[in-house]
Amino acid sequence: VAAGILRRQRARESSARTYARSFPIVPARAKGMTIEGTDGRRYLDCLSGAGTLALGHNHPVVLEAIQRTLESGAPLHVLDLATPEKDDFTDALFDTLPKGFADRARIHFCGPAGTDAVEAALKLTQTVTGRRGVLAFTGAYHGMTAGALAVTGNVAAKERIAGGAGGAADVTRLPYPFSYRCPFGVGGERGAELSAAYTERLLDDPAGGVVRPAAMIVEPVQGEGGAVPAPDSWLRAMRRITAERDIPLIVDEVQTGVGRTGAFWAVEHSGVTPDVMVMSKAIGGSLPLAVIVYDRDYDAWLPGAHTGTFRGNTLAMATGAATLRYVTRHGLAERAATVGARMTARLEGLRHELPAIGDVRGRGLLIGVELVDAEGPVDSCGAHPAAPDLAERVRAACLDRGLIIELGGRFNATARLLPPLTITDEQAEAVLDRFTDAIARVSA
């Protein structure tokens, strides 16, 4: 069965298939952290729908929300009309918002993907300011539609498009503070200070070439960029720099939100209040949902200025509300912080034994392990050359051992571990046993 399905989909689907290439499996059933293929093989899923499944697969509260909504006879699609489900989702979401933001918040349902919400955030700040440009960072990932792609760092995704696909927004690229592959030749807090100082001087330089932009867009922890956390002090510096220059700050929490980094929203670690927050993935509780939440002073669109057919889906609002409440009630953000710290510490402890582990980083259960060529020369920050081929073999060896992990980062050499927040201690140990065994085997 599986072979036939894989063959037919390979023949009929777009050449851009990505995950299907990395994971030639055909899922039949899933529960919690486990996916079972049509061949009966079981896998521990450390990809979680690219960070979407905060509660893992088919959590009882998610299934119950779907069943309850279906049995109620609620219409599944009513454009953006007022519904009890939308009301309840908005209540649940506003209850989670950072202090100082909730009481002034407005929500716009976008949809259904993260990239749609990024487009909305860019367009809203352009509408409010009457400006066009955007400040974005090296290593950033914001999506694949024109505006979101323009602010994304990944060159491979756009280099074959004439004009570099940057045409939808006029982007100024700034260096993200990345300790391991440090843009200024120095890591840690000092590297972050240099990144902030560079930003400030560039914006104030009358010959710096940057016309005052419509927004700055930033991920508090870069996800696809390789699980790179920005220091809290740096994010506070970005807030100060943008506020002083009347530039709206958009924080993209598509991947970092809903407890994953150890706080419900990753901006809470730094105490920064953004002007616009971009949310998707886990807020839909397995189903597609994307929103922007912003300060009421930004509520500048006229009716019809940003419309769309699929802006909020009844079932996704029900599963989303159930998920948001479950994460809060069960303290899953705190749990992500604890388990994440334990997993990271065990990986750190293995660096001497497994020199292919160049860097272990991340926050909470957004973990990255950069695989390197330990024989290669170190750069000024002490980093060895990235080893994408080795990383690819590690990923395949993990799959052989019943573990699904994805790669990301600058050189596609960072193994990304994004387990559900409901991961048990035993599952966390099993993930690391399989993962480190795969590294040991492949790098021997």
- Applying CB under 6 A, among 33, 254, 369, 391 the residue interacting with ligand PMP is 254
Binding of ligand PMP by 138 (CB under 6 A)? no
Q: Is residue 326 close enough to count as binding ligand PMP by CB under 6 A?
A: no
Query: Which is closer to ligand PMP, CB of 110 or CB of 387?
Result: 110
Scanning 8-16, 114-122, 184-192, 421-429 for contacts with ligand PMP by CB under 6 A, the matching segment is 114-122
What residues have CB less than 8 Å from 400, skipping those under 6 apart?
A: 438
- x/- binding map, residues 265-284, to ligand PMP, per CB under 6 A? ---------------x----
Span interacting with ligand PMP, options 68-76, 111-119, 200-208, 319-327, rule CB under 6 A? 111-119
Nearer to ligand PMP by Cβ, of 89 and 141: the residue is 141
Contact code string over 39-58 relative to ligand PMP, x by CB under 6 A: -----------x--------
Among 119, 219, 268, 406, binds ligand PMP (CB under 6 A): 219
Among the residue ranges 6-14, 22-30, 242-250, 252-260, the one whose residues contact ligand PMP (CB under 6 A):
252-260
Q: How far is the CB of 404 from ligand PMP (least distance, A)?
A: 16
In whole angstroms, give the CA distance from residue 109 to residue 353: 49
Radius of gyration of the chain (CA): 21
223 is a contact residue toward ligand PMP (CB under 6 A): yes
Q: Specify the stretch interacting with ligand PMP by CB under 6 A; choose among 53-61, 109-117, 160-168, 328-336.
A: 109-117
Nearer to ligand PMP, 219 or 373 (CB): 219
Q: Does 141 bind ligand PMP (CB under 6 A)?
A: yes
Q: What is the DSSP string of 66-133?
A: HHHHHHHT--S-BTB---HHHHHHHHHHHHHSPTTTGGGEEEEEE-SSHHHHHHHHHHHHHHHHS---
Which alpha helices (H) appear in 275-384, and where do they start and end? 314-329, 332-349
Nearest to 251 by CA among 275, 230, 269: 275
| Stretch in the footprint of ligand PMP (CB under 6 A) among 88-96, 139-147, 158-166, 257-265 | 139-147
Binding ligand PMP by CB under 6 A: which of 45, 224, 268, 373?
A: 224
* Burial of 149 (C-beta count, 10 Å sphere; 0-12/13-18/19+): buried
Position 289 contacts ligand PMP (CB under 6 A): no
Angle at 347 between CA 438 and CA 351, to 5 degrees: 85
* Shortest distance, position 253 Cβ to ligand PMP, whole Å: 8
Q: Using CB under 6 A, which of 252, 275, 370, 406 touches ligand PMP?
A: 252
Task: Report d(CA 323, CA 312) in Å as an integer.
Answer: 16
- In order of 113, 283, 290, the CA distances from 116 in angstroms are 5, 14, 7
Report, in Å, the least distance between residue 252 CB and ligand PMP.
5
Nearest CB to ligand PMP, comparing residues 143 and 340: 143
In DSSP notation, 190-209 reads HHHHHHHHHHHHHHH-TTS-
137/438 with CB nearer ligand PMP: 137
Stretch that binds ligand PMP, among 194-202, 218-226, 241-249, 291-299 (CB under 6 A): 218-226
Query: Token pair 């009630």 is at which residue?
Result: 329
Structure-token match 């506003």, residue found = 94
H-helix or E-strand spanning residue 35:
strand 34-37
Q: Which stretch binds ligand PMP (CB under 6 A): 10-18, 112-120, 366-374, 389-397?
A: 112-120
CA distance 11 to 16: 12
The residue (of 290 and 442) whose beta carbon lies closer to ligand PMP is: 290
Q: Which residues make Cβ contacts (< 8 Å) with residue 242, sequence separation at least 6?
A: 216, 248, 249
Q: Is 154 in the site for ligand PMP (CB under 6 A)?
A: no
Alpha carbons 184 and 199: distance in angstroms, whole number: 13
The reply to whether 255 sits near ligand PMP by the rule CB under 6 A is: yes
Cβ atoms 149, 122 nearer than 8 A: no
SS3 181: coil
Q: Give the range of 219-227, 264-272, 312-320, 400-408 binding ligand PMP by CB under 6 A.
A: 219-227
Token digits of residue 438: 């795969």
Binding site for ligand PMP (CB under 6 A): 50, 113-115, 118, 141-143, 219, 223-224, 252, 254-255, 280
